[in-house]
Amino acid sequence: MVKCGPRAEKFQPIMNLKSITVPLKPIKQELRPMGPRDLFYDGKQTYQLLMTYKFQIEKSCIVTPNVPLLSEHLYESDYCGYMWSIYDINNAYMFSGGSYPDRFSTKLEEGEYSMILQVRHYCKDALEQAKGTLASVNCKLASPIAVDSYESWPSCKNAEKFTSCLLQRGQMKAVYFSFPTIENLPIHASAGSFLCGHLVLSRCELTKTTLPVTFDVKLYTQMDMPKKKKKSLTLVPDVERKISSFSVDELMYRYKVWLMARRGLAASNLLYAELVEQEGGDVVYCTLTRLIYLMKYQMAGYQQEVYNLSVKLLNLIDRNQLIVFFGGNRDLDPDWTKKKNKMEYLKTATLVALFAKGTVILSMIRKNLDQKLADVFVAYGALEFPKVLHDASGMYFGDSTFSTDESSTSNGSSEKEDNEMSSVEAQTQEGTSEKKNSENAEEPKPDNWYASFKICDVEAILLEMLQLVDMDHPLLVPFCCNYAIYTGRYFWAVALLEKLLKEDPKRKELKALKVSLIQKIGWFHVADNLINGILVKHPPSQRLL
């Protein structure tokens, strides 16, 4: 409700939100005595309370930490002092601060961070009472969020926004504000978070230099806002079909494919041999699952089979049809939305096959030149198995993530697998055991099957992948990195490694590869700085003061 002053004014409410403040709860608390240098002159012991907070920045922004309980009472506080420090996911020190939080602001990039708060006092009981102290992080928005205003509830339902009106002296006017659509926030808005901004009710038009009167506004969120889903590479076949539409034979076929990606190498080979000979099966689905399984866990000894599977998968898919579908005019095809999911699945399968084929060619060329292969395979973490038994409603029946247990990825099936084997798998192995006994020993692979590989083949694969996706695709970035390393374009390779490390900062092999490439460029001072900085980024222990 707004009341006009002693003269008529033009009422034009404008509300803009410019920052968001998120409360933080400590996830770890530790009370311990301080060192000898922090004792009083009479030898009296002092203690410190260390509280650790975690927060994640989803978009680069200016951050201002604050401890409301202590920040506004510097000299009147019962505690001897306090201080907080910010560290990134690699425990690298970012910045510190204390009282007067407005003086301590810095720009943080996207990533996970931890804040350690240290409170000092000579009385342990006082520090016990300070446990659980809440902190907050204020993030400045890149662009202000405008809040819509309405004259009444019916106008709010009809989306009729309030513009302006002339109020006479002493007249009262009601105005309603709706909760804004919050998107692209730099930090996740949890329950208790609030957006800060300013409200302008009227503008003085007597002089252009007079500033409008502003009022501080806080808009609280009552519940956790939905988190953003990270983009991931998923392979979803038959998205237009429901589970009830599958026959028993189709369900058995898909379950065997599911088992093929979860058992040891011997069981996987037997299942694949049976599925290939079965009529009426989804050859693309089966071949794709087999290809990803070999690339992720058996790449070193099955490079020729990986190459043959990738060629087979590419022959099963009409790539020209994919280019026409995604590059053509959508308005001319009325069924474009119905075909999109299926074509997206085929496009992803094509990219996986091209990536596998190009990776094998690169590794074989490097092997011919007697070069190390340790810096070639950097991209297998981007591959995921096809989802099994997809329901049209979006629910998946059965988790298709491959187990990382060593017993399930070793050569041959372990005793644990034999004991836990399902009846379906037991029937499968019984049916294929006779075939296995009748087969002769595996023929030796020719040594020169890769003699015709050339670097122009890799460049052709790269151009074909660029016809389907852009350079930021999770498969294209590591593939280009491998290609840049082989061709000696180390500057490009270092830039691509920066993208990979930004997505997964914990991969030490990528950091070591980055240092070696910088040494090949000749920037030894930069390489020495990175090597010496490992102790700073990964210290065995940290001391705030």
Mean pLDDT of 413-427: 40
Residue 534 within any structural domain of the chain: no
Q: 457 pLDDT band (50/70/90 cuts)?
A: confident
Does 421 lie in the same domain as 331?
yes
Angle between helices 476-487 and 336-368 (to 10 degrees): 30
- Phi first, then psi, for residue 365 (nearest 5°) are -65, -40
Length of the chain: 545
Q: How many domains does the chain have?
A: 3
Consecutive H or E run containing 65: strand 61-66
Q: 27 pLDDT band (50/70/90 cuts)?
A: very high
The token pair at 215 is: 């009022």
* Coil, helix or strand at residue 279: coil
What is the per-residue pLDDT for 177? 80
Q: 31 pLDDT band (50/70/90 cuts)?
A: very high
Mean pLDDT of 392-397: 27
Higher per-residue confidence, 175 vs 28: 28
* Coil, helix or strand at residue 270: helix
Does 290 lie in the same domain as 397?
yes
Give the range among 91-105, 170-184, 513-527 with minimum mean pLDDT. Answer: 170-184
What is the per-residue pLDDT for 212? 67
Could you tell me if 465 and 354 are in contact, meaning their C-beta atoms sit under 8 angstroms apart? yes
| Cβ-Cβ contacts under 8 Å for 331 (sequence gap 6 or more) | none
Q: 322 pLDDT band (50/70/90 cuts)?
A: confident
Does 308 lie in the same domain as 159?
no
Distance of CA 331 to the CA centre of its chain: 33
Portion of the chain with pLDDT greater than 90, in percent: 6
What is the per-residue pLDDT for 538? 55
Which of 452, 469, 486 is the endpoint of a domain?
452
Q: 260 pLDDT band (50/70/90 cuts)?
A: confident
Tell me how many degrees the CA angle 505-87-512 measures, rounded to the nearest 5.
Answer: 30
Give pLDDT tens digits for 107-154: 888 888 999 999 988 888 888 988 988 999 999 888 888 888 887 777
C-alpha torsion angle, residues 399, 400, 405, 407 (rounded to 10) = 110
Mean pLDDT of 208-230: 65
Does 263 lie in the same domain as 201?
no
What is the per-residue pLDDT for 444? 43
For the residues of 206-227, what is the DSSP string, one character each? S-SSPPPPEEEEEEE-SSPPPP
What is the per-residue pLDDT for 73? 61
Does 351 lie in the same domain as 314?
yes
Give pLDDT tens digits for 64-101: 998 887 766 666 667 767 889 999 876 778 889 887 78
In the numeric block, the tokens 């389907």 are attached to 468
What is the per-residue pLDDT for 363? 81
Which of 407, 424, 452 is the endpoint of a domain?
452
Residue 427 within any structural domain of the chain: yes
Does 352 lie in the same domain as 301?
yes
Could you tell me if 501 and 510 are in contact, meaning their C-beta atoms sit under 8 angstroms apart? yes
Give the range among 139-148, 201-210, 440-449 with minimum mean pLDDT. Answer: 440-449
Tell me which residue range forms the domain holding 158: 2-17+144-220
Could you tell me if 108 and 60 are in contact, meaning their C-beta atoms sit under 8 angstroms apart? yes
Mean pLDDT of 212-219: 78
Residues 32, 37, 38, 41, CA torsion sign: positive
Residue 491 within any structural domain of the chain: no
What is the per-residue pLDDT for 29? 92
pTM of the full predicted structure? 0.48
Alpha-carbon Rg for the chain, nearest whole angstrom, is 31
In the numeric block, the tokens 């939905």 are attached to 226
| Cβ-Cβ contacts under 8 Å for 306 (sequence gap 6 or more) | 291, 294, 295, 299, 356, 360
Residue 471 within any structural domain of the chain: no
287, pLDDT greater than 60: yes
26, pLDDT greater than 90: yes
Portion of the chain with pLDDT greater than 70, in percent: 69
Q: Which amino acid is at 518?
A: I
What is the per-residue pLDDT for 53? 94
Does 306 lie in the same domain as 412?
yes
Give the closest residue to 521 by CA, choosing from 471, 479, 484. Answer: 484
Distance, in Å, from the CA atom of 460 to the CA atom of 152, rounded to the nearest integer, reads 63
Distance, in Å, from the CA atom of 346 to the CA atom of 326, rounded to the nearest integer, reads 12
Could you tell me if 240 and 392 are in contact, meaning their C-beta atoms sit under 8 angstroms apart? yes
Give the closest residue to 167 by CA, choosing from 215, 202, 207. Answer: 202
Residue 207 within any structural domain of the chain: yes
Does 166 lie in the same domain as 57?
no
What is the per-residue pLDDT for 453? 82
Does 195 lie in the same domain as 259?
no
Q: Within a 10 A sphere around the Cβ of 535, how many other Cβ atoms?
A: 9
346, pLDDT greater than 80: yes
Higher per-residue confidence, 544 vs 146: 146
What is the per-residue pLDDT for 309? 86
Give exposure, 62-76, as e/b (b: 16+ Cβ within 10 Å): ebbbbbeebbeeeee
Give the closest residue to 183 by CA, choosing from 223, 228, 138. Answer: 228
Residue 6 within any structural domain of the chain: yes
Residue 469 within any structural domain of the chain: no
Q: Which amino acid is at 187?
A: I
Give the range among 41-50, 305-314, 395-404 with minimum mean pLDDT. Answer: 395-404
Distance, in Å, from the CA atom of 436 to the CA atom of 151, rounded to the nearest integer, reads 80
Tell me the CA distances in angstroms from 105 to 66, 96, 108, 144, 160, one per residue in order.
Answer: 10, 9, 10, 19, 40
What's 381's DSSP letter? Answer: G
Which of 205, 220, 235 is the endpoint of a domain?
220
Residue 127 within any structural domain of the chain: yes
Distance, in Å, from the CA atom of 38 to the CA atom of 253, rounded to the nearest integer, reads 70
Does 280 lie in the same domain as 158?
no
Does 336 lie in the same domain as 413?
yes
Give pLDDT tens digits for 478-522: 888 888 888 888 888 888 888 888 777 777 777 888 888 888 888
* Coil, helix or strand at residue 39: coil
Does 67 lie in the same domain as 191?
no
Higher per-residue confidence, 404 vs 371: 371
What is the per-residue pLDDT for 497? 85
